[in-house]
Structure 1
Amino acid sequence: MYCLRERKEVNKDLFICMLMICSVIFLFYFLDNTSIVHDYAESTRSYNESTHLYLQNKYFGENSKQKIIGCKNIFEWDMSGVETARNSVTQDLKYWTHIKYQELTRNCSCFFEKRGYITHFLTTEEQRFPIAFSIIMYKNVQQVERLLRAIYRPQNIYCIHVDSKADIDIYKSISEISHCFENVFVLRKRIKVIWGKMSVLTPEILCMEELWKRHKTWKYFINLTGQEFPLQTNYELVKILKAYNGKNDISVAKNESRRCSGRSRTPPPYGIQIMKGAVHIAVTRSYVDYVLHDRRARVILKWMSHACAVPDEEFFATLNYNSHLQVPGSYKGYTRKSYLGRFKVWKSSIHYLRNITSPCYGKWVRSICIFSLKDLRRLSTRKELFANKFHLHENPLTYTCMEELIFNRTRDEFEGKRTLNASWYHQRSIS
């Protein structure tokens, strides 16, 4: 196959390819610096006609590599034709093995083309609002690679941590993928992550440190696991995060001082109230700066590491809900504002009773719903940023339909057929 031939056999083709790439780079540089590419926030996604058509054909035209199987009916619970679609995605699932990824990434240009990555910022508003992501994974290279593809833009930056319990082939495949990108990297230090232990927080802090050092302009940090998927396009994420107006999105359930009582001989430092939340956050760059460089954050983290039962559920929320700590973007006092970072369906009695309108059509794993086909309609209307959880190999069609949803919305935004009114999110930001 052409994409897998050794580099020494394609020197001529690579030379021609490099000339074409340089021409395109020059074109985009010229267009950007002559203000021909305009901000979509002012009107629509307007480029000059030739550039717009080029991008439209490359990413959304007939040559697009995005697998389109026609999920529209499935989102409406019309299951006719499901078996044909399921067979198609199942065969695709078997094709992408560790070896296949390692082979294809020998030629990064072919990898981008074959996998259908959007390697252009698409709008100046997105270009000017880069986002930093961490992805914490321990299995399933294909699912993580497809998550990366769904959220990838060249202006963003991505840190991936591979659990030390994961097979070496997983680490090798993800590393080979990351080598094709200047803005994707895999942590060399691998932590053995154990639920309820400090090891859940450690990879997040390590990624924060690397993201801080490697990229100086990202605006918000969002941490993910390999089993999540976006409910919004990158453009919508930018609009939503800008509507937050410099505030953090961190969940909180209640004051949970008892979760850290009896485990330490010393009281909580700085008179903090212990708050229970979640490890999943969407926070400003200034919040990350505080976590990494403020002495109070380091003291609190060290105390929680031996005092709290589940430190990953307390650390981020406690910083955000103790206003006297003066954490950038934090909440003023204890309040239960809407948390929009994740959509999850819990089986526990309290959550389940509150979510009678949100049953689980998939299956329960550790009290969390693993979404399936009949969950798609609800997922398509949620306002949260990401959904948790998906199991690609058990529900490949569900995952593929979510990919198709985000792809179609990105295309419609690019073609001026879809926009987002972020006022709903602004009203829920913390003043």
Structure 2
Amino acid sequence: MNSHGAYHNYAYLDCFKELLKFKWKYIILMQNHDILLRTNYELVKIFTWFNGTNDISADNMQPYMYRIDTNYKWTFDNLKLFKDSKRNFNTSNGAPIKLKFAKSLVESSVSREMIDYMINTLNLTTFMERLQVNRTNCCVPEETMLATLNAADEINAPGGFCVTTNLFMFQLHGS
């Protein structure tokens, strides 16, 4: 791993798998010199209000598309995104569903249901490999993975949300 995000998603996923063995409701991801400014009592109250919703920012991906390999066909089928392969062939208006990208900060609060979904329903192997490809332009894959999974309506992630304006999501056109 390095400060440009190389292989962070792999470390997160390994930690998520281990943490599923324990009882908890939210994971808080922090980075660098982040510190919590809330007590455990306050966090429990906040997460109770969240009621399973993830706290993952979503930002306009357009200025950051240089971080994505635009020559790759980002369809669910090419990514083999779902472990249930039938879901990879779902279509929208007769066309294969392409992944829509969002950018976020690493700092997030992610529900157990979302983590379980990522580990047991999704196959993130190809997705993470493809995010890792464009290293020459300082791709920051850990700022893309969770936001994209959380905000892409077609993935139907627990606690996720769909942002329907192009201010936040960017879908590759063509291929």
Q: Flag whether TM exceeds 0.5 (same fold).
A: yes
Partner residue of 1:234?
40
Query: CA shift at 1:220, angstroms?
Result: 0.8
Q: State the Cα deviation string for residues 169-218 of structure 1 (Å, max 9, x = none).
A: xxxxxxxxxxxxxxxxxxxxxxxx212243222322221111113x1x21
2:123 and 2:17 map into 1 onto residues whose CA distance is: 17
The 8 Å contact of residues 219 and 285 in structure 1, kept in 2 or not, is answered as yes
Partner residue of 1:321?
151
The 8 Å contact of residues 56 and 147 in structure 2, kept in 1 or not, is answered as yes
The 8 Å contact of residues 260 and 307 in structure 1, kept in 2 or not, is answered as yes
The 8 Å contact of residues 290 and 297 in structure 1, kept in 2 or not, is answered as no
Decide which of 3, 10, 18 is 1:210's aligned counterpart. Answer: 18
Partner residue of 1:305?
132
1:295 and 1:232 map into 2 onto residues whose CA distance is: 32
2:143 and 2:32 map into 1 onto residues whose CA distance is: 19
2:124 and 2:12 map into 1 onto residues whose CA distance is: 14
Report the secondary structure of 2:113's partner residue.
helix
Q: State the Cα deviation string for residues 389-416 of structure 1 (Å, max 9, x = none).
A: xxxxxxxxxxxxxxxxxxxxxxxxxxxx
Partner residue of 1:277?
104
Partner residue of 1:198?
6
How many residues matched?
Answer: 142
Report the secondary structure of 2:107's partner residue.
strand
Cα distance, 1:204–1:225 mapped onto 2, change above 3 Å: same
2:150 and 2:164 map into 1 onto residues whose CA distance is: 9
Partner residue of 2:65?
258
Cα distance, 1:225–1:313 mapped onto 2, change above 3 Å: closer
Q: Which has the higher helix share?
A: 1
Q: State the Cα deviation string for residues 301-354 of structure 1 (Å, max 9, x = none).
A: 2322225721111001000110110111101234789xxxxxxxxxxxxxxxxx
Cα distance, 1:307–1:327 mapped onto 2, change above 3 Å: farther
Cα distance, 1:334–1:260 mapped onto 2, change above 3 Å: farther
Give 5+ residue unaligned stretches, structure 1. Answer: 1-192, 338-431
User: Relative contact order, CA 8 A, sep 6+: which one is greater?
Assistant: 2
Larger Rg: 1
Partner residue of 1:332?
162
Identity %: 27
The 8 Å contact of residues 30 and 106 in structure 2, kept in 1 or not, is answered as no
Q: State the Cα deviation string for residues 71-104 of structure 1 (Å, max 9, x = none).
A: xxxxxxxxxxxxxxxxxxxxxxxxxxxxxxxxxx
The 8 Å contact of residues 101 and 148 in structure 2, kept in 1 or not, is answered as yes
Q: How does 1:146-225 map to 2 (within 5 A)?
A: 193-213=1-21, 215=22, 217-225=23-31
